[in-house]
């Protein structure tokens, strides 16, 4: 009897250890499905991101779950380890045989296990291959990421040829929480994305794409000098909407070297968002700076295409310098109109206050002229300015 109790306790302890290990394992992928359109004998490459959504280091394998088509695919890496929260880019290259005639559907399988353990999990990624008889080929497009826990990920419609760098972050988002996606690898200029969740959205993948050129999905170029073009995708389509999130901000950095080499006014740097029709500058503020970078934060109501822009300092100064002159001109015009009105009224009434009014406006006009000349001297627009500067240097 005593031996049975001991065996039961041992079995119970082992089972509890297995359950705990299973809960520590997690896997997410982006995209959640892939598609290609290729002519026989051609090839194309797409990126697959594998994410460790668990709390323990795990081993991941990538392969085709159908031996018939395994020879069609090659992977840049087929086995690797990821620490908790890390992700890995796997280049998936498809080589369609010259003899291929019909469309193909298969799956990429990504299982994961804890090193030294027998418990694991995995995920399947559907792949559709359309065989093009016309000879045209396309790398296709990927959409909607996935996770073994049922979370959402984001796919990108941006052509891979225009993507300079990409980084992912994944979080479980619950109603009433402040979700923060940190990007610690510094692959792009975006440092974090934050928002308040109105609803429980589950496990969400946020993807940052830093582009080589303006997105092919935008119709024009934003105003000012462009530092970087970006795509920011949060979850599946329809997730990051005003109905689901609010108070969203994007934290990003700008290299001071770019600012100095291009003569950019620091106060003019903004994050612009393309709303589907035009570029609109977002409310942007500087948070901090260090020796190499400026760190800024912008408020946004949505996610898609963005650009970090700034204006050259001389253009900003020109606009600001014109402001005092404009105000002085408006005041002079107003005073002249008031003087004309007073003179007309006094003459019509035959009052004795006309001369007194003239003397009063004479003082006002003299003060305005002096203020205007002083402003022009400060901006080196008045002949006496050069003389005053020379005197100061002496």
Among residues 260, 280, 311, the one where a domain terminates is: 311
- 152 to 146, 179, 236, 312: CA distances (angstroms): 6, 14, 6, 41
**12 domain residue, yes or no:** no
CATH number of domain containing 205 = 2.60.220
| Beta strand extents in 174-304 (DSSP E only) | 178-182, 190-197, 202-211, 225-234, 245-255, 270-274, 279-281, 284-289, 293-300
pTM, 2 dp: 0.53
Do 208 and 262 share a structural domain? yes
Q: Are 249 and 301 in contact (CB under 8 A)?
A: no
> Which residues are bridge partners to 171 per DSSP?
204
Angstrom CA distances, 112 to 52, 61, 280, stand at 9, 7, 44
Q: Are residues 324 and 180 in the same domain?
A: no
Judge if 287 and 376 occupy the same domain. Answer: no
Which string of DSSP letters, residue by residue, matches 178-215? EEEEE--S-SSSEEEEEEEESS--EEEEEEEEEESSS-
Is 8 within a domain?
Answer: no
Last residue of a domain, one of 311, 331, 361: 311
| CA 128 to each of CA 35, 51, 109: distance values in angstroms, whole numbers, following the listed order | 5, 22, 14
Q: Judge contact between 131 and 104, C-beta under 8 A.
A: yes
Residues 186 and 295 in one domain: yes
Domain that holds residue 374: 314-393
Specify whether 245 is located in the same domain as 267: yes
Q: For residue 2, tell me if it sits in a domain.
A: no
Residue 331: its pLDDT value, please? 54
Does residue 283 share a domain with residue 156? yes
In a domain, 14, yes or no: no
User: Do residues 262 and 322 share a domain?
Assistant: no
Q: Looking at the structure, do residues 325 and 228 belong to the same domain, yes or no? A: no
pLDDT of residue 326: 47
| Whether 162 and 285 share a structural domain | yes
The number of residues making up the chain comes to 394
pLDDT in 10s for each residue of the chain, 394 residues? 555 444 444 444 433 333 334 446 778 787 778 888 888 999 988 888 888 877 888 889 999 988 899 999 999 999 999 888 788 889 999 999 999 989 999 999 999 888 766 556 788 889 999 888 654 444 544 443 333 332 333 456 788 888 899 899 888 899 999 999 999 989 999 999 999 999 998 888 899 999 999 998 898 999 999 999 999 999 877 788 999 999 999 999 999 999 999 999 999 999 999 988 899 999 999 999 999 999 999 999 999 999 999 999 876 555 554 444 445 455 555 555 566 666 556 556 655 555 555 555 556 666 666 666 665 555 444 444 444 444 434 3
Tell me, what's the pLDDT at 160?
Answer: 81
Return the pLDDT at 356: 56
Domain-embedded: residue 72: yes
Shared domain check, 82 and 103: yes
Shared domain check, 295 and 237:
yes
Instruction: Please indicate, yes or no, if residue 13 is contained in any of the structural domains.
Output: no
Q: Alpha-carbon distance 8 to 3, whole Å? A: 9
Among 311, 330, 352, the domain-final residue is 311
User: Could you tell me the CATH number of the domain that includes residue 104?
Assistant: 2.60.40.10
Full DSSP string of 126-144 = EEEEEE-TTS--B----B-
Residue 323: inside a domain: yes
DSSP conformational letter for 34: E
Question: What contacts 31, CB < 8 A, 6 or more positions away?
Answer: 48, 125, 142, 143, 144, 145, 146, 153, 155, 156
Number of domains in the chain: 3
DSSP annotation of 101 reads -
What is the signed CA dihedral for 255, 257, 258, 259, rounded to 10 degrees? 90
Task: Measure the CA–CA gap between 57 and 117, rounded to whole angstroms.
Answer: 11
Q: Are residues 160 and 244 in the same domain?
A: yes
Is residue 163, in this structure, part of any structural domain at all? Answer: yes
Among 135, 130, 122, which residue's Cα sits nearest to residue 94? 130
CB-count exposure of residue 66 (10 Å: 0-12, 13-18, 19+): middle
Give the per-residue pLDDT at 280.
Answer: 94
Q: Which of 266, 248, 257 is nearest to 309 (CA)?
A: 266
Nearest to 83 by CA among 106, 109, 107, 115: 115
């Amino acid at each position: 009897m005593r031996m049975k109790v001991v065996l039961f306790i041992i079995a119970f302890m082992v089972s509890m250890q297995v359950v705990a290990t299973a809960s520590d394992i997690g896997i997410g992928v982006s995209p959640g499905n892939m598609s290609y359109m290729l002519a026989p004998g051609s090839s194309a490459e797409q990126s697959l991101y594998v994410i460790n959504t668990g709390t323990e280091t795990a081993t991941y394998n990538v392969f085709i779950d159908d031996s018939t088509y395994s020879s069609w695919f090659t992977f840049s890496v087929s086995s690797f380890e990821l620490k908790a929260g890390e992700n890995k880019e796997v280049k998936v290259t498809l080589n369609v045989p010259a003899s291929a005639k019909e469309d193909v559907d298969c799956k990429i399988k990504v299982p994961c296990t804890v090193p030294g353990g027998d418990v694991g999990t995995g995920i399947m990624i559907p792949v559709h291959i359309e065989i093009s008889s016309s000879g045209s080929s396309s790398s296709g497009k990927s959409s909607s990421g996935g996770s073994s826990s049922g979370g959402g990920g984001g796919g990108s419609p941006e052509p891979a040829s225009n993507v300079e760098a990409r980084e992912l972050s994944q979080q479980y988002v619950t109603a009433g929480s402040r979700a923060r996606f940190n990007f610690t690898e510094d692959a792009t200029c975006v440092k974090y994305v934050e928002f308040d969740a109105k609803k429980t959205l589950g496990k969400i993948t946020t993807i940052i794409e830093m582009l080589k050129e303006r997105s092919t999905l935008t119709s024009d170029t934003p105003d000012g000098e462009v530092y970087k073009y970006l795509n920011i995708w949060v979850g599946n389509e329809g997730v990051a909407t005003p109905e689901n999130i609010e108070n969203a901000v994007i934290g990003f950095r700008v290299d001071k070297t770019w600012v100095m080499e291009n003569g950019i006014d620091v106060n003019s740097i903004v994050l612009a968002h393309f709303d589907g029709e035009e570029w609109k500058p977002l409310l942007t503020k500087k948070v901090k700076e260090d020796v190499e970078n400026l760190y800024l934060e912008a408020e946004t109501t949505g996610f898609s295409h963005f650009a970090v822009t700034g204006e050259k300092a001389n253009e900003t100064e020109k606009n600001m310098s014109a402001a005092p002159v404009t105000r002085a001109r408006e005041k002079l015009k107003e005073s002249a109109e008031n003087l004309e009105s007073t003179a007309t009224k006094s003459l019509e009434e035959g009052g004795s206050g006309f001369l007194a009014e003239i003397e009063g406006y004479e003082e006002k006009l003299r003060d305005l002229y002096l203020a205007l000349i002083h402003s022009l001297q400060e901006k080196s627009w008045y002949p006496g300015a050069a003389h005053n500067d020379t005197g100061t240097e002496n």
